[in-house]
């Protein structure tokens, strides 16, 4: 018995009495193989392993926090280096929460440690390796999949309801989670237990008598016999005896010359089935068949040794990478892959559309090898730079429509809330948190003494900056991810943020201290508010893929818009990194006059204009050997 690991395909089919979801993939060699869709159980198990690892990382961060003297820092007794250490811990927590899955799946070919242990892998719909863009999209939409409150009820429900077992993140990214199952090709006979308790692998006759050079039943006859053997124990004894007698009569030609078997028709059929299974497993030719059926057995007989050797190479390459085979080994691996593609094509033709074990087995070999050979190239710093500095701002210019819609939905409610609170300050208590109301009262006292919007302990500036960055980036992630809910979630995020923004400004204006708030918001506000609008536009792009697909299939429109949207998320992240740094280090400075803060605001507006103008290139003819769309970190890439 030999084992091979590989993924498999999309139409439902039954193997070993288990219902298996599969999806068909057509390779560049024009051969179709299959991937097996991972089930809910294995995906939950992989997720639990990953959660455990994340928990270990969180605990390590907390221990680090204690070691750097966080208690002294909180009581204002810490040092600047300890403050920076705490800031790094805050960023570390953010990256564990959001970066763990994105980085593992994007850089480790679709596998987190949990998926690797459970032999699962994320691949694109075309069967290629998942791109970094696909990893980012499917894991940011996790915000919605994990609802309600980390139970993953939405995600599990989506997996159960979709034909290819996709959660919402997979639908947006155009990805699949497949199972690299262990598929075994039998070299002996595997039978159900008989009435006397003999197990499937036992043979009552000696090896010489068991060896057969030709199968005696046609494929149709063998299928009938196999069904009887599998169901025989569930039949009533009388009914089983009648069927066995009829089958013995039907197979009388095949039983001619067979050694005598103690017992009745049931035992005769059992031994005939054992011989047939052994003959077919060894690739024996069916003597009474011709044409395609005879060719199929000949292919199996000649190909089995090569397939066994390739299975061992594949298992090694999957565990240690293609490089572990060496240069000559990789060359041989590619050559064998092509030979296997030819064998599979011939077998599929000879099988005439019927399910055959050798086709199933060879398809799994092809699937595993295909995933190894067609992996995308490694990311480089140049790819990362191009994505954030060129492709992201270019996409912002292209997506002006949804971004403007997002701005209207945020600043419109902000203006309404501002007007309502200015006209009737009592309204503020309806939608402004009590803490913010208390801060406004304190702001009156601070304004009289010439102090700023908030206290400015310089020691806390690094921690404040990193906390603000983490919080604001998560808000933009939510604005993007909620777009998969037909844009309703994105609208809610934008409107609620707009109402809060306008209400707070109205509250301070009603107390005559609006300048106090403007002085604080000015340095970072231009970039922060623009970033939220861009992220809202990303959410609306996802919604448009579902609601306005045009002449594209809805699934294709969602995938294409998802790739565009993730570039907008990249642009908003860049802006929030700068805005959060300013909000933590510059905005709280009490000694700076309003004019200086407005000067910083003007500088950020210039920076915004320069950044969003990035990616402009002169139009030039594209040579035949050049690609009109260069690959990028968050684009189609080599695996798109």
pLDDT in tens, 270-310: 888 887 777 766 655 555 555 556 677 777 777 788 888 88
CA distance 634 to 640: 10
Helix (H) or strand (E) run with residue 535 in it: helix 514-547
Kindly state whether residues 337 and 269 are assigned to the same domain.
no
Q: Do residues 81 and 145 both lie within one domain?
A: yes
Q: Is the pLDDT of residue 347 over 90?
A: no
Per-residue DSSP letters for 360-393? HHHHHHHHHHHHHHTPPPPP-HHHHHHIIIIIHH
Which helix (H) or strand (E) is 23 found in, with range?
Answer: strand 22-26
Considering the domain boundaries, does residue 379 fall inside one? Answer: no
Are the beta carbons of 138 and 122 closer than 8 angstroms?
yes
* CB neighbour class for 550 (10 Å; exposed up to 12, middle 13-18, buried from 19): exposed
Q: Which of 234, 249, 281 is the last residue of a domain?
A: 281
Q: Give the C-alpha distances (Å, rounded to integers) separating 510 from 246, 407, 594, 639.
A: 96, 25, 20, 56
- The answer on 297 and 277 residing in a single domain is no
- In this structure, is residue 391 part of a structural domain? no
Query: Is the same domain home to 505 and 363?
Result: no
Q: Count helices and strands (H / E) in the chain.
A: 26, 10
Is 397 a domain residue?
A: no
Contacts of 566 (CB under 8 A, 6+ apart): 133, 136, 137, 140, 480, 538, 634
Q: Is 3 left (phi over 0), alpha (psi -120 to 50) or beta?
A: beta
- Containing structural domain, residue 312: 2-36+289-373
CB 382 within 8 Å of CB 630: no
Question: In this structure, are 338 and 273 located in the same domain?
Answer: no
Given 235, 259, 281, which residue is the final one in a domain?
A: 281
Residue 480 · residue 565 · CB < 8 Å: yes
Same domain, 559 and 449: yes
Of the listed ranges 188-202, 369-383, 400-414, 521-535, the least confidently predicted one is 188-202
- Could you check whether the bond before residue 336 is cis, i.e. omega within 30 degrees of 0? no
Contact present, 182 and 5 (Cβ < 8 Å)? yes
Same domain, 359 and 487: no
Would you say residue 193 lies in a domain? no
Residue 360: is the preceding peptide bond cis (ω within 30°)?
no
Length of the chain in terms of residues written: 640
Q: Is the model more confident about 193 or about 603?
A: 603
pLDDT at position 628 over 50: no
Let me know whether 274 and 304 are in one domain: no
385 falls within a domain = no
Is residue 574 within 8 Å of 388, Cβ to Cβ?
Answer: yes
pTM, full prediction? 0.75
Considering the domain architecture, whether residues 160 and 218 belong to the same structural domain is answered as no
**Final residue in a domain of this structure, among 231, 256, 281:** 281
The verdict on 440 and 489 lying in the same domain is yes
Number of structural domains found in the chain = 4
Q: pLDDT tens across 136-184, in order? A: 999 999 999 998 887 889 999 999 999 889 999 999 999 999 887 645 5
255 in the same domain as 368? no
413: Cβ–Cβ under 8 A, 6 or more apart, which residues?
Answer: 495, 498, 499, 502
- pLDDT higher for 108 or 610? 610
* pLDDT tens digits, one per residue of 466-505: 888 888 899 999 999 999 999 999 999 999 999 999 999 9
Based on the fold, state whether residues 427 and 478 are members of the same structural domain. yes
Mean pLDDT of 202-231: 63
Residue 630: count of CB within 10 angstroms of its CB = 12
Residue 164 in any domain: the answer is: yes
**Is 325 within the bounds of a domain?**
yes
State residue 151's pLDDT score: 85
Residue 488 lies in a domain: yes
Q: Is the dihedral of CA 87, 88, 89, 94 positive or negative?
A: positive
- Residue 637 reports pLDDT greater than 90: no
């Amino acid at each position: 018995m030999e084992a091979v690991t590989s993924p498999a395909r999309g139409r439902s089919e039954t193997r070993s009495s288990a219902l298996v979801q599969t999806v068909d993939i057509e390779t560049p060699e024009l051969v179709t193989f299959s991937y097996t869709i991972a089930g809910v159980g294995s995906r939950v198990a992989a997720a639990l392993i990953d959660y455990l690892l994340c928990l270990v990382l969180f605990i390590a961060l907390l221990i680090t926090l204690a070691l750097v003297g966080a208690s002294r820092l909180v009581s204002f007794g810490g040092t600047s280096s300890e403050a920076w250490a705490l800031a790094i811990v805050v960023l570390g927590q953010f990256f564990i929460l959001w970066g763990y899955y994105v980085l593992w799946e994007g850089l480790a070919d679709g596998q987190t440690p949990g998926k690797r242990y459970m032999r699962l892998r994320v691949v694109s719909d075309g069967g290629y390796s998942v791109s970094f863009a696909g990893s980012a999209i499917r894991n940011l939409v996790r915000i919605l999949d994990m609802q309600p409150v980390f139970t993953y009820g939405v995600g599990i429900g989506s997996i159960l309801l979709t034909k290819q077992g996709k959660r919402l993140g997979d639908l947006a990214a155009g990805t699949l989670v497949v199972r690299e199952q262990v598929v075994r090709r039998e070299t002996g006979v595997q039978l159900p237990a008989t009435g006397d308790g003999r197990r499937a692998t036992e043979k009552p006759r000696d090896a010489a008598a068991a060896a057969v050079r030709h199968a005696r039943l046609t494929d149709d006859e063998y299928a009938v016999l196999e069904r009887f053997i599998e169901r025989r124990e569930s039949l009533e004894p009388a009914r089983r005896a009648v069927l066995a007698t009829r089958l013995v009569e039907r197979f009388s030609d095949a039983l001619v010359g067979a050694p005598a078997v103690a017992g009745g028709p049931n035992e005769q059929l059992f031994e005939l089935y054992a011989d047939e299974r052994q003959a077919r497993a060894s690739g024996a030719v069916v003597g009474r068949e011709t044409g395609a059926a005879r060719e199929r057995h000949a292919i199996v007989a000649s190909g089995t040794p090569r397939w066994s050797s390739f299975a061992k190479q594949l298992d090694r390459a999957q565990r240690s990478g293609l490089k572990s085979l060496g240069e000559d080994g990789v060359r041989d691996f590619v050559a064998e892959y092509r030979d296997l593609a030819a064998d599979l094509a011939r077998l599929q033709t000879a099988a005439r559309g019927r399910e055959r074990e050798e086709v199933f087995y060879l398809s799994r070999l092809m699937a595993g090898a295909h995933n190894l050979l067609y992996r995308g190239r490694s990311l480089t710093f140049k790819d990362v730079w191009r994505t954030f500095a060129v492709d992201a701002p270019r996409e912002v210019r292209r997506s002006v429509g949804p971004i403007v819609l997002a701005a209207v939905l945020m600043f419109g409610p902000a203006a309404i809330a501002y007007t309502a609170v200015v006209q009737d300050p009592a309204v503020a208590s309806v939608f402004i948190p009590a803490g913010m109301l208390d801060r406004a009262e304190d702001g009156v006292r601070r304004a009289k003494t010439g102090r700023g919007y908030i206290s400015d302990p310089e020691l806390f500036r690094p921690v404040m900056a990193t906390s603000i960055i983490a919080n604001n980036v998560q808000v933009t992630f939510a604005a993007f991810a909620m777009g998969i809910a037909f844009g309703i979630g994105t609208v809610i995020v934008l409107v609620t943020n707009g109402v809060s923004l306008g209400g707070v400004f109205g509250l301070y204006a009603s107390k005559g201290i609006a300048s106090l708030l403007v002085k604080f918001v000015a340095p970072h506000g231009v970039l922060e508010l623009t970033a939220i609008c861009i992220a809202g536009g990303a959410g609306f792009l996802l919604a448009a893929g579902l609601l306005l697909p045009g002449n594209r299939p809805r699934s294709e429109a969602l995938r294409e818009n998802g790739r565009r949207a993730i570039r907008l998320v990249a642009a908003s992240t860049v802006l929030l990194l700068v805005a959060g740094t300013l909000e933590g280090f510059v905005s709280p400075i009490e000694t700076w006059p309003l004019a200086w803060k407005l000067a910083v605001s003007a500088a950020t507006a210039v920076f915004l204009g320069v950044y969003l103008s990035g990616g402009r290139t002169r139009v030039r003819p594209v040579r035949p050997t050049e690609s009109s769309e260069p690959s990028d970190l968050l684009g189609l890439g080599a695996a798109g």
